[in-house]
Chains A and B, each alone.
Chain A
Amino acid sequence: MQAFHLSQPNSLDAALAAARSHGAKFIAGGTDLMQLLKDNIEVPTELVDLERVGLSSIQADASELRLGAMARMSDAAVHPDVRAGWPAIVQALEASASPQVRNMGTIGGNLLQRTRCGYFRDTGFACNKREPGSGCPAIAGENRLMAILGGSDHCIATHPSDLAVALTALDAMVTLHGINGERRVPIADFYRLPADTPHIETILQPGEMITAVTVRASGAARNSHYLKLRDRASFEFALVSVAVGLDQRDGVIEHALLAAGGVGTRPWRLPQVEAALRGKALEDAVFGDASSIAAGGASPAQQNGFKRILLQRAVFRALQMASA
């Protein structure tokens, strides 16, 4: 870790002002950033602590859920309104990390955590995400955990967040604040594909921060589910995960919302599966047809071809769970 200056502003405006200095980074719960600092992967000269700026409220009504960026993961997971209206979000949070991490980790910070790719996490390796142009040894290396969707010749690292997968399925909007004011973007547009600039992971501009996440209330959100598959029963990132929301009437699927984690370089929406379900009967045969195209476009590396079939089966199982 290298030395840095720490500022602890008392308001959003003060935080945004502090972040204008070159080399500044926001710190929220710090559960990921502290690791990155210790491993010399992030080397900020200025850390802007968001602990005192507020932004931690959790509000839900009949039309919308609003999660402040500084709301703790554990607080969101136990909130009765969130549990009632958006169970996939709760399940994604509860499947994340450990209780201790969830007590510190925030909603905004969770969405901005960096990949777990072992090549990215160790400065002894080349990594295009860490040092643009240095190369990607993961593509021909230890790639069991890497992405099968959305990769490029420059990066195949997965996005690690469970929460982001649930939010992507449920069409969440992300509210951003910068010195030029506020903007709201769909979460699907928030994350970028790596292409030839894997070091740029989101559309955040320098000095801009997430202040809130909003999710519409809907039948699909109320009947949503998050399925996470992994080697270890807890405290591990997803090999494959699926968030699903199903809105049905009289046994017919009106809306199906699906996204997958552990397979994509960003949270991966599955529109072709949604289309294959819309207007169809709520039954295993339909789920089977729809899940069979879940991995369309996948291009696995040597060690992670299994993720293609695991994704298809996870989609099928998640649909069964959401329809039970």
Chain B
Amino acid sequence: MAFIGQGLDRVDGRLKVTGGAQYAAEFRVPDLVHAVLVQSTIGAGAITGFSLAAAQSMPGVLTIITPENALKLHAESNLPQAIRAPLLQDMDVHYNGQHVAVVVAEALEQADAAAARVRVQYRRDEPITSMDAVLDQAYLPKSFRNGERPADSRRGDPDGAFTAAQVKLDAVYVTPIEHHNPMEPHATIARWDGNQLTVWTATQGISGTQQSLAALFGIDPKDVRVICPYVGGGFGCKGNTWPPATLAAMAAKLVGRPVKLAVTRAQMFTSNGYRPRTVQSLRFAADQQGHLVSMRHDGISQMSQPVLGEFAEPVGLATEMLYACPNVAVTHRLVATNAPLPTYMRAPGEASGNFALESAIDELAVALKQNPLDFRMRNYAEQDPHENKPFASKALRECYRQGAEAFGWSRRPSEPRAMRDGNVLIGWGMATSTYPTHRMAANAYVRVNADGTALVQVGTQDLGTGTYTVMSQIAADELGLPVQRIHLELGDSRFPHAPVSGGSMTVASVGPAIKTACQAVRAKLSNDGDTNVALPELLARRNMPSVEASSEAKSGEEQKRYSMHAFGAQFAEVRVDADLGEIRVSRYVGAFDGGRIINTKTARSQLIGGIVFGIGMALLEETHVDGETGRVVNANVSEYLMPVNADIPDIQAILVPNDELVSNSLGAKGIGELPMVGVAAAVANAVYHATGVRVRKLPIRIEDLLV
């Protein structure tokens, strides 16, 4: 029987709810000592000195690492995942909350108490704390998308078409700084055995961590072992090898004992990236019939000081391909500020860009007096208009249809402020979702034993999304064994190499590798004619205890021939108090084409989780930065608001069937990021429909609606 497609319970569910699943900070390593980070309290300048005597004399303190005694690292390493600064290599301060020292002590409490006694003297410069004041200094990214493509694109004559058009929109949309705030903060235990380094660390990429640490410490990657069997959420902030992991390894080297460094919740706001603030100018135009004739999307996103690296929020990529429009221009620019380096956060670019794109589409539909869904259907792209290629598959029409039907969209009154329940205004809004189907090369090892069990090893990691479970299902189907007999091991760099778990590509990358390795196992045993015989039986016939195979899988020609994307349709109902402005999402339907679904249960959880994430983006999440000092004012989860249960209505997540097998051998298009793309726009469009007020910035707040 096929396990793929079933809604199986998580294979690691019991371990997780009983506390048996070990996360990075929970490993017991003998002789362990503890490190605590000290961070800057100025936004720009340089350290001129340290006063360490008080801290050094505290009980249990082993050492205090500062730029004056830090290990010199090989900062020339140019791996994309290796964050090279700030690693205590110089005295410069580029942002408030930058790591400036590490206190190591026998006990965590001792290190923490001593860290509070470290005093730092500075030369203070004037920090640039907000991108808004320096938008005129926007610059072209040096290496947009790691150099895979230019930052700008253009087809047709968007400016000419805009000038000539009858129905126009020219608007600016703003999205805020957001922090990932996974439940598990970053944590690393580092141990050196001679020149060999072992780290237990919370990461979305054990292979990248291995490469990064090897490069920074100037050792062979084979001498770095990275262990990470479970991750308590990443959402992008564990994709790179951020300084705390490197500093833990440095501390362990300097004190000659294993060191644990767990980042505090407050430190999470300056230690591992964030979704940068964006200012996006959109100029869209349509003809009177409702055909898009011009789309111009100019995005500026906030950056750190360029010396720390580069990250550009790719806000305009979906604008290039989502609608059939002959004249399109997209640009991406950066503005340097005294902030930490930004990074990927769940649907980087797509989520913040889609808020602008799908709000603008809604605004044009209003201007045209057309139903927003009809307007989108009128401009449906049958093939990728940017790359001029067919889509590997696109069930967006069916997403629209099933989502609209489940939501009751056809009963939507066209005018705003048309639905009311006492003091409460009710509005319905929608948006399109899309996210590219990524894939990278991956390897897997499979061994089948004569007793009917199988071992699968792969150097991927489970962010909490269900990787253990779906990979077990893939192996079970391919080996013809019950899923309970598959023993899956991941999260160890000794296992075959797999890519970072980012870009929603783990199933599409690792799944085919496991499938191929399973086929290789079968090929070793099967002669012509016995393909229907169970593998344990074949082993028994040959009197073999086991058979094993390793295999790599990667994309081929299909990448060149097809445009690959997942799609979805988002529908939101909001209730807004007409006088008090309080906004609550009261009903939600999302319908998604994520390709072939391996596990309907974990998939539905992903979709619901993504929608919750999107509701947070729409109404709650925002990092506030002090304009004078550049220091985060709400570096905690009390004042950095994320949704709680009371904010979340019943969510209906519909899996729209799609059996396409072109994108990869499993037909998986990725669903980690797709469900949060479009949520903010759907909510904003619903708020407009409820109140008649168009809010072009996130999060939408009470004060925006006190009219």
Contact = CB atoms under 8 A, between A and B. Distances in A.
A316 B578 CA distance: 13
B629 interface: yes
A62 interface: no
Interface in A117-134: 118-119, 121-125
Nearest to A97: B638
A318 to B, nearest CB: 10
Contact of B641 (A125, A142, A231): A231
Interface in B77-117: 96-97, 109, 112-113, 116
A229 interface: yes
Nearest to A126: B629
A23 interface: no
A116 B637 CA distance: 12
B96 A232 contact: no
Contacts of B628: 137, 140-141
Interface stretch (B61-69, B308-316, B515-523, B644-652): B644-652
B277 to A, nearest CB: 14
A236 interface: yes
B633 interface: yes
B579 interface: yes
Q: Which of A231, A316, A317 has the most CB of B within 10 A?
A: A231
A122 B620 CA distance: 22
B619 interface: yes
B581 interface: yes
Q: Which of A142, A234, A239: most chain B Cβ within 10 A?
A: A142
Given A118-B624, A316-B579, A141 B633 contact: yes
B659 interface: no
Contact of B701 (A231, A313, A317): A231
A231 B624 contact: no
Contacts of A306: 702-703, 706
Given A231-B702, A232-B620, A317 B633 contact: no
A124 B702 contact: no
**Residue among B112, B423, B626 facing the most chain A CB atoms (10 A cut-off):** B626
Interface in A79-117: 116
A30 B382 CA distance: 61
Interface in B608-654: 619-620, 624-629, 631, 633-636, 638-639, 641, 643-647
A90 B582 CA distance: 22
Interface in B1-57: 39, 41
Given A2-B113, A141-B627, A124 B639 contact: no
Contacts of A2: 113, 116
A70 B644 CA distance: 28
B438 interface: no
Given A137-B626, A137-B628, A142-B633, A309 B96 contact: no
Given A124-B631, A137-B629, A229 B646 contact: no
A142 to B, nearest CB: 4
Contacts of B635: 118, 122
Given A2-B113, A313-B580, A316-B579, A233 B647 contact: yes
A40 B116 contact: yes
B646 A234 contact: yes
Interface string B382-411: 000000000000000000000000000000
Given A124-B96, A137-B626, A142-B626, A231 B633 contact: no
Given A232-B647, A310-B702, A122 B112 contact: no
Contacts of B266: 39, 122
A3 B584 contact: no
Interface in B568-607: 579-582, 584
Interface in B683-698: none
Give the size range of B's interface with the partner.
Answer: 35 or more
Contacts of B624: 118, 142, 144
A236 B116 CA distance: 28
A234 B644 contact: yes
Interface in B110-149: 112-113, 116
A314 B619 contact: no
A145 B113 CA distance: 31
Interface of A, secondary structure class, is loop
A275 interface: no
A119 B633 contact: yes
A78 interface: no
Nearest to A39: B266
A309 B638 contact: no
A185 interface: no
Contact of B647 (A3, A142, A234): A234
B634 A118 contact: yes
Interface in A183-234: 229-234
Nearest to A123: B116
B580 A125 contact: no
Interface string B243-263: 000000000000000000000
B650 to A, nearest CB: 14
A124 B579 CA distance: 38
Contact of A1 (B96, B109, B706): B109
A43 to B, nearest CB: 9
Contact of A313 (B579, B633, B634, B638): B579
A122 B41 CA distance: 10
Given A119-B633, A122-B266, A317-B580, A235 B644 contact: yes
B580 A314 contact: yes
Contacts of B634: 118, 142
A208 B678 CA distance: 55
Contacts of A231: 619-620, 641, 699, 701-702
A284 B423 CA distance: 14
B629 A125 contact: yes
Contact of A233 (B626, B631, B646): B646
A17 to B, nearest CB: 28
A141 B584 CA distance: 28
Nearest to B631: A124
A144 B645 CA distance: 25
A122 B109 contact: no
B644 A232 contact: yes
A122 B116 contact: no
Nearest to B627: A141
Contacts of A141: 626-628, 633
B113 A122 contact: no
Contacts of A316: 579
B648 to A, nearest CB: 9
Contact of A118 (B97, B579, B633): B633
Given A116-B639, A306-B706, A233 B644 contact: yes
A316 B579 CA distance: 10
Contacts of A125: 41, 626, 629, 631, 633
14 contacts: A116-B639, A124-B39, A137-B626, A140-B627, A141-B626, A142-B624, A142-B633, A231-B620, A232-B641, A234-B647, A236-B641, A237-B638, A310-B580, A310-B703
Given A3-B109, A124-B631, A231-B641, 15 more contacts: A1-B113, A2-B113, A119-B626, A122-B266, A124-B39, A125-B629, A125-B631, A137-B628, A137-B629, A142-B626, A142-B634, A144-B624, A232-B647, A233-B647, A235-B644
Which 8 A-B pairs have CB atoms at the shortest separation, nearest pair first? A306-B703, A233-B646, A118-B633, A234-B646, A124-B41, A142-B633, A142-B624, A233-B647
